[in-house]
Amino acid sequence: MRIIDEIHKEDIDSMIVLNPKNIAYLSGFNPSSFSVLILKDEPLLLTSKMDFEDANLNTKVPIEEFKSLDKIKDYLKGTVGIEKNITLGIYKKLKISSMFEVKMTDAVERLRRIKTMDEVQNIKKAVGIAENAINAVEFDSRRSENEIAAQIEYNMRIMGSKKASFDTIVASGSRSSLPHAEVSDNSLEMPLVIDWGATYNNYCSDTTRTLIETEKQEEIFEIVLEAQKSAIDVIKPGIKASYVDKVARNVIEEYGYGDSFIHSTGHGVGLEVHEGPSLAKSETIKLEKDMVVTVEPGIYLKGEFGVRIEDMVLIKNRGKVLNKIKKKIEL
């Protein structure tokens, strides 16, 4: 396992992996209940009785039944790595800090940021399913936000996505000024922000399109689009992730809408719809080849409307947009 070399670089001898997505990434088994992957020269997976058979079908890592947190220490050796998102409750119950030297590490997340060819294929497939699903939706103004969301999710499933990658957003009229609006039963009004994603082999897609109508909406749309294009244009290995955010933000600020761009420019996508790196001011890392990120600037005019445009970008020598769907969807 590549992860073993990775933790050894940090002088970690064994590691406790609890995050189900990290376990899925490393072992191929997607836990549905509390499971523990012990990393050391001979890795070991501990799962509940309930998940045992499913694990057996999906991983080559040796499996034992998970009995109790107390027992985990018997499998550890040397300096023990733990994930940053281990809960304090479980950490205390493990009682390992008195017996081992313990180090927080994001070694698994670091590996997950760089996608293999297989992972990129899965992501591309998820993007394609999501786009086909929305192309098959009829945007009739008598339909409600909720009906559109239901239709998108149904289409994605039928087209091969086992689940949506997150709760579909269909935000219409003034509700489009809330970046994460909950779907309502309101009838469709313009503009219409749709933020949706499929999964394929557990890999996610994440795309946003905004349908517009008035001249004012068109004006804002063009600014957001310019910001997005400028940001995508500067993407390449070696630049700071925060720089991409800065470029998008600069464009929107130049037009005087800086205060209305109320979130970061993007995020990594993989087994989770939000993972590293973040395209945000606070992000410290640099972009690398084979990362997959979203680029999604937006302008939100409180009480009026909002516009967001989001595409997924694979980083090669330059940023390569994975989406094929047009930026402007016509009714």
- Which contacts (CB < 8 Å, 24+ apart) does range 264-268 have? 265/231, 265/295, 265/296, 265/297, 266/231, 266/293, 266/294, 266/295, 266/296, 266/310, 266/313, 267/293, 267/294, 268/113, 268/292, 268/293
Instruction: Kindly state the smallest distance separating residue 262's Cβ from a second copy, in Å.
Output: 4
Burial (0-12, 13-18, 19+ Cβ within 10 Å), 16 = buried
Nearer to a second copy by Cβ, of 8 and 162: the residue is 162
**Which phi and psi (to 5°) does residue 158 adopt?**
-65, -30
Nearest approach, Cβ of 189 to a second copy (angstroms)? 18
Minimum CB distance to a second copy, residue 267 (Å): 11
Which residue, 227 or 315, has its beta carbon nearer to a second copy? Answer: 227
Closest CB to a second copy among 25 and 91? 91
Find the shortest distance in angstroms from Cβ 221 to a second copy. 20
Here the tokens at position 307 are 């516009």
Please give the residue ranges that form the binding site for a second copy (CB under 8 A).
Answer: 30, 32-33, 48-54, 82, 84-89, 91-92, 104, 146-147, 149-151, 153-154, 157-158, 162-163, 167, 177-183, 262-263, 300, 302
Shortest Cβ distance from residue 16 to a second copy (Å)?
A: 12
Beta carbon nearer to a second copy, 33 or 141: 33
Question: How far, in Å, are 98, 137, 155, 165, 324 from residue 274 at the CA level?
Answer: 34, 26, 23, 10, 21
Closer to a second copy by CB, 2 or 84: give it: 84
Helix (H, G, I), strand (E, B) or coil at 117: helix
